[in-house]
Amino acid sequence: MANKVAIVTGASGNLGQAVVKRLIEEGYYVAGTVIPNDPVVLDLPGQNFEKHVTDLMNEEESGKFVDGIVTHHGQIDVAVLTVGGFAMGGIADTKASDIMKQYRLNFETAYTIARPAFVKMMQQGSGRIFLVGSRPGLEAQQGKRMVAYGLAKSLLFRLAELMNDEARGTNVVTSVVVPGTIDTPQNRKAMPEADFNKWIKAEDIAEIIYYYCSDKARAIREPLIKAYNNA
């Protein structure tokens, strides 16, 4: 068994795959979640990776997933929660139902894993949780045309603050990674005229996350990690 155990939600996404691969390279055993009927084929070493089909908007199902990892491995050292969704729309275009949909995609999918993972880490006295925020969630002026998305993402910052306050004096730390535009095939297709060199690669974000998991960063209590590159 690997020395450390990690959970990565959205393991088939661009960022999720990069994080999974980086952690496996460093000897972690990774349990990754994917959505039902996910068409992405994951080429990962089976001895260090297990795939779980999990509906993260189902709190009971998410809790059972975390409990199963604890039962089988005895610990959770790292949780990287990459699942989310995006929507455009200003105030006039955004209904309460639109906000609720983004809340479920961006906050609920994180909270249903973060809460049981946090409880386990508090019991064992150590652990690192990484939430994936956004600039519209951090800076209101960045979210003027992305109201529902920005409001939903903003809750992740408050959650990290509350978890760090509750974990004060322990070695349990929750951080929010705020990426700039990630260099993915989807983003290149959507913005073909952009300067891709200014974007940040998923592999670079994965490297940043690994650093904050490593012993070199064990004394750091950084709740906000901006990974903008030059975007």
DSSP 2-49: -SEEEEEESTTSHHHHHHHHHHHHTTEEEEEEE-TT--PPP---GGGE
Cα–Cα separations (whole angstroms), residue 80 to 54, 87, 90, 187, 207: 15, 22, 30, 22, 13
Residue 100's identity, in one-letter code, is M
Cα–Cα separations (whole angstroms), residue 196 to 16, 182, 191, 193: 20, 9, 9, 9
- Identify the structural domains of the chain with CATH numbers, from first to last: 4-227 (3.40.50.720)
Give 13-62 pLDDT, tens digit per residue.
Answer: 999 999 999 999 999 999 999 998 888 988 887 789 999 999 999 999 99
Give 73-116 pLDDT, tens digit per residue.
Answer: 999 999 999 999 999 999 999 999 999 999 999 999 999 999 99
pLDDT band at 1 (very low <50, low <70, confident <90, very high): very low
pLDDT band at 222 (very low <50, low <70, confident <90, very high): confident
Q: In whole numbers, what is the pLDDT of the chain averaged over residues? A: 94
Average pLDDT over residues 121-148: 93
Average pLDDT over residues 191-210: 96
